């Protein structure tokens, strides 16, 4: 069964005006040791948007409100050798929040330059779709991993201009 998940990409400008995105080093669970987006499971009875608000606070200490999260699309992930890991992930972008970044037991959040994403330390698929999302585009993607669950074997990606 495909698990409902969410990711929220918080974006800001550094003092030099360069774009940065908040990502985190996964401390436990699926993807431990990788740099990942902020987010996680959508709980029963919870909308994707509500989950993004909750997960952002739990993983970073930052408060976002639903009206400040912009729909960035959806990615479906398939792991043929581990179908229990298949997921459908709602994507959001955000540029407004309150609070200070703090680490959690699940994630050590850090700001990364948008122009130099640490894709070598992320899931293989991030290089394919994440730049589109961070540019303000909305995407729909299906990503299938190889038998080892390490590399993208197949991808279908549709990119929509903002607002489409």
Residue 10, domain CATH: 3.90.79.10
Task: Return the pLDDT at 37.
Answer: 96
β-sheet bridge partners, residue 36: 24
Q: How many CB atoms lie within 10 A of CB 53?
A: 21
Q: What is the span of the domain harbouring residue 103?
A: 3-160
Q: Are 8 and 64 in contact (CB under 8 A)?
A: yes
Q: What pLDDT is attached to residue 163?
A: 52
| Tens-place pLDDT, residues 9-52 | 999 999 999 999 999 999 998 889 999 999 999 999 999 999 99
User: 16 in helix, strand or coil?
Assistant: coil
| Whether the Cβ atoms of residue 71 and residue 138 lie closer than 8 Å to each other | yes
At 43-101, the pLDDT tens digits run 999 999 999 999 999 999 999 999 999 999 999 999 999 999 999 999 999 999 999 99
* Structural domain count, the chain: 1
């Amino acid at each position: 069964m495909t698990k409902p998940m969410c990711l929220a990409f918080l974006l800001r400008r550094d003092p030099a005006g360069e774009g940065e995105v908040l990502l985190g080093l996964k401390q436990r669970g699926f993807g431990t040791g990788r740099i990942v987006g902020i987010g996680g499971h959508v709980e029963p009875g919870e909308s994707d948007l509500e989950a993004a608000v909750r997960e952002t606070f739990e993983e970073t200490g930052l408060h976002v409100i639903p009206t400040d999260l912009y729909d960035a699309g959806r990615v479906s992930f398939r792991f043929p050798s581990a179908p229990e890991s298949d997921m459908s992930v709602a994507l959001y972008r955000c540029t407004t929040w309150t609070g200070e970044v703090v680490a959690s037991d699940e994630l050590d959040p850090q700001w990364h330059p948008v122009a130099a994403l640490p894709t070598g330390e992320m899931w293989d698929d991030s290089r394919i779709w994440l730049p589109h999302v961070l540019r303000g585009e909305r995407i729909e993607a299906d990503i299938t991993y190889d038998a080892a669950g390490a590399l993208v074997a197949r991808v279908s990606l549709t990119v929509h201009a903002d607002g489409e």
